[in-house]
Chains A and B, each alone.
Chain A
């Protein structure tokens, strides 16, 4: 009899839907049906038991082809790359569990690496703004139960977070929002008339890259000062109308995304959005929330803050952790050729970094740790497959509002395939052994002051 497993978490976007029902074949090896998930989540579960899965580490040969090797050999190779590198970069972590992130941090600390996650190219701008200005936020349940005005600014959940609107922000009937969509005003700000804008009551077609001016106009109008006839492509009357709606809200939430973080101004678009939220709290209750991308991209922020005090761009090359995005971010380090080994973990830097950055990183050893074949795995020296979190590996993940959710395992990973956590624990152990071997030889790893080895 096929088995139905309930309350399954979806390992795709930051909404972290945990209401999936997955039907597994009676031998427990095949996923037959996925209920409640969006099209993307569905694909993840079905892809997991596809025939194209890689089940052994693969090492690049001199002729350019891959050869399967054992996990022990792969772990030794990875540990040696870290041991020999002066400044390795360990990047990714959008799509793994917190246990894997903590284990990877231990390895990074031992190796004296730079440790960074996808926030660096995603909501890193938000962190910078939060450092400057604070984060008046809420949980998604509060929006569901209370919000009568919802703003999506530079975010397109219809495509990026497909069930966000139906689970938390627009359609659900909450405790104080019993009429569902009818009890809420939806405002969308975006240069494109997106599918999200289709369901909005008010759509503001802002000129791309001019969000800062529009926020400024809102803040100015709220304080009762004059604003120009048109700002960022939006007419004065429209701005005043929306400002009035925001002022009269009982409870409002601004959800924002890459429209702010990836455009000119980056963190300043976000910090003025936070300022607007703070201003609005002089009149009524307003909250703001970053539409975090991957299902556990909030995880490294939480785990590494707890371990080192910093959420991303961690320079662990000295005794104390240091963080300065712009200096210690993956892209900036790559473009300045400041790292000499690259670990791509639970992400695909080869597809999602600008190609110029990929070219710089590929001058050095490149190791990919990922369940699937992706662009990063196809330009690696070594590809180590791992189990898929949420499908084959359980664990804690953090939703976009930093609420931790326990993900379940629905099937076993392919025979012999290990988890990220186990892999990093074993790399850590091997690093310690290499250190001990070196110490036993009596050769100090540190060179005398003023002398650089091999230079």
Chain B
């Protein structure tokens, strides 16, 4: 049982994310649809986790706490998925290979159990990053 593993992260769409986004980015639906990570069963086991536990995901440029979810769309071991949106973009590297397009898919992350930590809301993450977070209003 490892306490940290390295995975290859892709961030893409999900229909739940699309529906929740159109309902509103400050809604509980958006929070549940996007603050998640999907991994292969082997990788979840390697971390000694079961679904619905929280993990800290860290890339070369950031870190975010999300929930491990058993996805319907199968991944191979070593590949991880997060729906596009506020949580994924806390860790997406802004490097563009001189094309204008950030590295939204195919960047290394480490995943570790997030003991005692909590998921932050979309507003807390974004406003917090730019120094505008005023606490729960």
Chain A residues with CB under 8 Å of chain B are 12, 38-40, 43-44, 47, 52, 64, 120-122, 124-125, 128, 156, 158-160, 162, 191-195, 197, 205, 208-209, 258-259, 261-267, 313, 325-327, 329-332, 334-335, 348, 350-359, 362, 372-375, 378-379
A39 touches B15 (CB 8 A): yes
- Judging by beta carbons under 8 Å apart, are B129 and A359 in contact? yes
A259 interface neighbour in B74, B90, B105, B134, Cβ under 8 Å:
B105
The 8 Å CB contact of B24, one of A47, A125, A325, is A47
Q: Could you tell me if B132 and A192 are in contact, using CB atoms closer than 8 angstroms? A: no
* A128 in contact with B19 (CB, 8 Å): no
List 14 interface pairs A-B (beta carbons < 8 Å), by A numbering: A38-B15, A39-B18, A40-B22, A43-B19, A121-B100, A192-B75, A264-B97, A350-B126, A351-B86, A353-B102, A372-B24, A373-B25, A374-B25, A375-B25
Asked if B49 is an interface residue, CB under 8 A from chain A, the answer is no
Chain A residues in 8 Å Cβ range of B74: 192-193
A195 to B12, CA, bound (A): 13
Q: Decide: A208 and B106 in contact? CB cutoff 8 A.
A: yes
Q: Is B114 an interface residue (CB 8 A)?
A: no
Contact string, B92-131, partner A, CB cutoff 8 A, digits 1/0?
A: 1110111111111110000000000000001101110110
| A359-B130, A375-B126 known; A354+B92 contact, CB < 8 A | yes
Interface of chain B: mostly helix, strand, loop or mixed? loop
Partner pick for A355 among B10, B90, B132, CB 8 A cutoff:
B90
Q: Using Cβ atoms and an 8 Å threshold, which residues of chain A touch B106?
A: 208-209, 262-264
Q: Contacts of A262 on B, CB cut-off 8 Å?
A: 11, 101-106
In angstroms, how far is the closest chain B Cβ from the Cβ of A307? Answer: 20
> Are A353 and B89 touching (Cβ within 8 A)?
yes
Are B75 and A266 within 8 A (Cβ)? no
CA distance A354 to B94 in the complex (A): 6
For the complex of A and B, 3 pairs with smallest distance between CB atoms: A329-B100, A326-B98, A193-B74
| Residues of B60-84 whose CB lies within 8 A of A | 61-62, 72-76, 79, 81, 84
Neighbouring B residues of A378 by C-beta, 8 Å = 26, 123, 126-127
Q: How large is the interface on B (under 10, 10 to 19, 20 to 34, 35 or more residues)?
A: 35 or more
- Asked whether A12 lies within 8 Å of B18 as measured between CB atoms, the reply is yes
Distance between A314 CB and nearest chain B CB, rounded to angstroms:
12
Q: Please state if B101 and A261 are interface contacts (CB–CB under 8 Å).
A: yes
**Whole-angstrom distance between the Cβ of A353 and the nearest chain B Cβ:** 7
| B89 and A156 contacting across the interface, CB-CB below 8 Å | no
Instruction: Known A262-B105, A357-B94; judge A40-B19 contact (CB<8 A).
Output: yes
Given contacts A162-B15, A192-B73, A205-B76, contact A379 B101 (CB under 8 A): no
Given contacts A258-B104, A354-B61, A378-B123, contact A40 B15 (CB under 8 A): yes
Known: A121-B100, A159-B14, A195-B73. A373 touches B85 (CB 8 A): no
| Whole-angstrom distance between the Cβ of A328 and the nearest chain B Cβ | 8
- Whether the Cβ atoms of A352 and B84 lie closer than 8 Å is yes
Whole-angstrom distance between the Cβ of A454 and the nearest chain B Cβ: 25
- Tell me whether A191 and B101 are in contact (CB under 8 A): no
Contacts A40-B15, A192-B79, A357-B94; A379 near B132 (Cβ below 8 A): yes
Known: A40-B19, A258-B104. 6 other contacts (CB 8 A): A44-B22, A47-B24, A156-B73, A355-B62, A375-B25, A379-B127
Inter-chain CA distance A334–B130, complex, in Å, is 14
Contact, CB under 8 Å: B126 / A358? yes
In the bound complex, residues from chain A placing their C-beta under 8 Å from that of B103 are: 262, 264
Residue numbers in A under 8 Å from B101 (CB-CB): 120-122, 124-125, 261-262, 266, 329, 331
Q: How far apart are the CA atoms of A226 and B75 in the complex, in Å?
A: 30
Q: Select the residue from B13, B23, B79, B103 with max chain A CB neighbours within 10 A.
A: B13
CB-based contact A358/B130 at 8 Å: yes
B23 touches A47 (CB 8 A): yes
Contacts of A125 in B (CB 8 A): 99, 101
**Complexed CA–CA distance, A18 and B99 (Å):** 33
Chain A residues with CB below 8 A from B19, complex form: 39-40, 43
Question: Residue of A at shortest CB range from B61?
Answer: A356
Q: Known contacts A40-B19, A358-B129; decide if A191 and B25 are in contact (CB<8 Å).
A: no
Q: Is the CB of A258 within 8 A of B105?
A: yes
Q: Name the one of B14, B61, B100 contacting A326, with C-beta atoms under 8 angstroms.
A: B100
A128 touches B99 (CB 8 A): yes
Q: Which residues on the A side are within 8 Å of B90 (C-beta)?
A: 355
B96 and A156 contact, CB distance less than 8 A: no
Partner of A156, one of B12, B102, B132: B12
The chain B residue sitting closest to A64, CB to CB, is: B134
Which one, A259, A335, A351, contacts B94 given CB within 8 A? Answer: A335
Closest-by-CB residue of A relative to B14 is: A159
Task: Report chain B residues within 8 Å CB of A356.
Answer: 61-62, 94
| B13 CB contacts on chain A under 8 angstroms | 156, 159-160, 258
Give Cα distance in the complex from A374 to B86, angstroms.
Answer: 11
> Is B8's CB within 8 Å of the partner chain A?
yes
**Assembly CA distance A191 to B81 (angstroms):** 11
Looking at A122, A329, A356, A374, which has the most chain B CB atoms within 10 Å of its CB? A356
* CB < 8 Å neighbour of A191 from B76, B84, B98, B134: B76
Interchain nearest-CB distance for B115 vs A (Å): 24
A326-B25 contact, Cβ under 8 Å, with A121-B101, A192-B74, A263-B106? no
